[in-house]
């Protein structure tokens, strides 16, 4: 979709957020550790409202939800659910959207989506996140002793004079009675999580498929499968994948793959990543399981 068409449709985002946002100012809180992708540019002018970095790789707002009791292959391919960059670029994927059906041993994931917000839309989103979403006055960590092996929601914000990361264990699950005072904050975080996870409102707001410039390839021990393929690369060897030096650690090697190297695997529409491609080593003496994760604009490996 062309940029002009996308920008005509995206103001719906701003209207929706303004309707939800409060009229009060952003509550202040002491800065915590700076998020990854720290500002590489000057903050936006104060006339714009809530100050934020403006670089194309600067993380302004990010929401992740991961960890818990899941297979290592799934952990390795987890991506942030939503990221807003300083130039207005957003990259997101709704985890509630049904994934494509498996193709043999390969489990593909939905592609991530992208669009570009105007400065007014950035301001509306930041006001919502810092006020209604609770990040402006949030503490660094929220626990929940009632739940085991649950994922942790992580919010990163770099705006309005704040550089902070907020982690919320078992967001959306029963509130621990011992931490009942955290219930309003958790409700605010859930409201923000819901907004960011369904940022295109079920696909009714125009976005484009995110085309990664590179991917993280993850190589693990595998088992023979009917649809396994031969080693697909002439310019890569298993030794090029960085495995842990500790023999007792889970052996999972990673290497940055180009789109051309990903195409060589033969997996159709790999933009969203996948798990489970079974490949043999170049000498056919070993079987590997290959998973793939798209890299975001601020990531290099």
Q: Report pLDDT digits (tens) over 19-41.
A: 333 333 443 333 333 344 444 44
| 219 in any annotated domain | yes
pLDDT tens profile 218-251 = 999 999 999 999 999 999 999 999 888 887 777 7
- Higher per-residue confidence, 267 vs 36: 267
pLDDT tens profile 149-202 = 889 999 999 999 999 999 999 998 877 787 889 999 999 999 999 999 999 998
Coil/strand/helix, residue 185: helix
| 204 in any annotated domain | no
Closest by Cα among 278, 279, 275, 280 to 292 = 275
| 202 in any annotated domain | no
| 30 in any annotated domain | yes
Residues 115 and 91 reside in one and the same domain: yes
Find all residues with CB under 8 Å of 239, minimum gap 6, and list them. Answer: none
Residues 163 and 247 reside in one and the same domain: no
Cross-strand pairs, 215: 257, 294
| 207 in any annotated domain | no
Range from 109-113, 240-244, 279-283 carrying the lowest mean pLDDT: 240-244
Residues 234 and 148 reside in one and the same domain: no
Coil/strand/helix, residue 36: coil
pLDDT of res. 76: 76
The span from the CA of 260 to the CA of 229, in Å, is 17
pLDDT of res. 39: 43
Residues 11 and 148 reside in one and the same domain: yes
Closest by Cα among 207, 228, 226 to 289 = 228
Residues 245 and 172 reside in one and the same domain: no
Confidence of residue 5 (pLDDT cuts 50, 70, 90): very low
Domain endpoint, select from 134, 163, 197: 197
Closest by Cα among 192, 199, 156, 161 to 20 = 192
| 88 in any annotated domain | yes
Domain endpoint, select from 134, 165, 197: 197
Dihedral (Cα; 255, 259, 264, 269), 10-degree rounding: 110
Residues 72 and 130 reside in one and the same domain: yes
Domain endpoint, select from 197, 228, 257: 197
| Domain count for the chain | 2
Residues 241 and 121 reside in one and the same domain: no
Where in the sequence is the domain holding 270, given as residue range(s)?
A: 212-294
Residues 175 and 228 reside in one and the same domain: no
Residues 127 and 228 reside in one and the same domain: no
| 206 in any annotated domain | no
Whether 67 has a pLDDT exceeding 90, the answer reads no
pLDDT tens profile 71-87 = 666 667 899 999 999 99
| 100 in any annotated domain | yes
pLDDT of res. 71: 63
Q: Which long-range contacts (CB under 8 A, 24 or more apart) does 242-251 make?
A: 243/219, 250/72, 251/220, 251/221
Instruction: Please compute the mean of the pLDDT values over residues 259-277 and round it to a whole number.
Output: 95
DSSP class per residue in 190-259 = HHHHHHHHTTTTTTTS--EE---S-EEEEEEE----TT-B----SS--GGGSB--S-TTS--EEEEEE-H
Q: Rounded to 5 degrees, what are φ and ψ at 179?
A: -125, 40
Residues 42 and 150 reside in one and the same domain: yes
Residues 151 and 273 reside in one and the same domain: no
The span from the CA of 133 to the CA of 113, in Å, is 22
Residues 156 and 235 reside in one and the same domain: no
């Amino acid at each position: 979709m062309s940029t002009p068409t996308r920008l005509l449709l995206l103001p719906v985002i701003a209207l929706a957020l303004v309707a939800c946002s409060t009229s009060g100012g952003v509550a202040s809180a002491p800065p915590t550790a700076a998020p990854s992708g720290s500002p590489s540019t000057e903050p936006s002018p104060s006339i714009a409202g809530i100050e934020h970095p403006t670089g194309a790789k600067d993380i302004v707002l990010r929401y992740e939800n991961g960890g818990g009791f899941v297979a290592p292959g799934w952990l390795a391919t987890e991506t942030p659910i939503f990221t807003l960059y300083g130039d207005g670029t957003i990259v997101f994927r709704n985890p509630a959207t049904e994934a494509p059906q498996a193709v043999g041993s390969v489990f593909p994931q939905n592609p991530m989506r992208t669009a570009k917000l105007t400065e007014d839309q950035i301001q509306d989103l930041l006001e919502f996140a810092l006020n209604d979403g609770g990040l402006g006055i949030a503490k660094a960590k929220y626990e929940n002793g009632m739940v085991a092996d649950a994922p942790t929601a992580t919010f990163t914000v770099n705006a309005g004079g704040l550089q902070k990361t907020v982690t919320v264990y078992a967001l959306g699950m029963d509130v621990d009675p011992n931490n009942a005072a955290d219930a309003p904050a958790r409700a605010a975080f859930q409201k923000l999580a819901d907004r960011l996870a369904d940022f295109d409102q079920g696909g009714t707001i125009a976005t484009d498929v995110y085309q990664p410039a590179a991917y993280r390839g993850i190589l693990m021990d595998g088992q023979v499968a009917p649809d396994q393929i031969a080693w697909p690369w002439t310019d890569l060897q298993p030794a090029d994948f960085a495995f842990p030096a500790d023999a007792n650690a889970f052996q999972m090697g990673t290497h940055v793959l180009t789109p051309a190297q990903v195409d060589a695997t033969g997996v159709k529409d790999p933009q969203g990543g996948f798990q489970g491609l079974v490949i043999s080593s170049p000498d056919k003496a070993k079987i590997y399981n290959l998973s793939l994760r798209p890299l975001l604009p601020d990531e290099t490996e």
